[in-house]
Amino acid sequence: MSELKTNLIIPAVGTSVALGDSGDTITIPSGVTFANNGTATGSFSDGTIQYIETSTLAASTSVSGTDTTYADTGATITVPAASVVGLTSITLVFVGNVRINHGTSHSYAEFRIQRTSPSAVNYESSTIGHSGASSSSAYAATRLMETDSDLGTGDHTYKMYYRKYNGAAASSGTILYKWGGWQMFALGV
């Protein structure tokens, strides 16, 4: 085995340096620390946040729906394919305020995050509202968080969907799903 001892490697021509050829394995012994003072791409993840994206959906007290099947709220965030490379997971946080008008028996609605690309994944729904004979509306601060650890290639798009609880028409009246607007966050590690 040959040994190379040096404190600096710089390219002879251009601005890139390659270590090894395609198919080679480069072993990094335990105890070695990478000190990154630039931009890292690839899979050098140590659990620190490598990607942050935010998106906002403006509030509207006049936008509502009465859907019994999941409908798109318009709250969307996309992580570009170039940013997905090297990530091990993307954690999504959707925060907003909704108003759920009373239906025949309740004021309940369901919200969920769905990955729509590169392939569809439905995450667990969250039920918001209250029950009872009261005809009052439910005003709810809504927070959903999901972690996508099954990353593919291509852009990763996540959307917020809503519907009447269990798809039952009696579970609510109109759902004002943009009542207080939405803030969406994507954190990649």
The answer as to whether 19 is a domain residue is no
Evaluate whether residue 24 is within a structural domain. no
Tell me, yes or no, whether 27 lies in a domain.
Answer: no
The total number of structural domains that make up the chain: 1
pLDDT band at 142 (very low <50, low <70, confident <90, very high): confident
Distance CA 153, CA 161 (A): 23
pLDDT at 15: 73
Give me the domain span that covers residue 67. Answer: 51-188
Other CB atoms closer than 10 Å to residue 185's CB: what's the count?
15
CATH number of the domain that 87 lies in?
A: 2.60.120.760
Indicate whether 108 belongs to any domain: yes
To the question of pTM greater than 0.85 for the whole model, the response is no
User: Is residue 175's pLDDT more than 60?
Assistant: yes
Hey, what are 158's tokens? Answer: 């996540």
45 has a pLDDT exceeding 60:
no
- Distance from C-alpha of 142 to C-alpha of 124, rounded to nearest angstrom: 14
Cα within 13 Å of Cα(150), Cβ side: 9
Give the per-residue pLDDT at 12: 75
Q: Residues near 6 by Cβ (< 8 Å), separated by ≥ 6? A: none
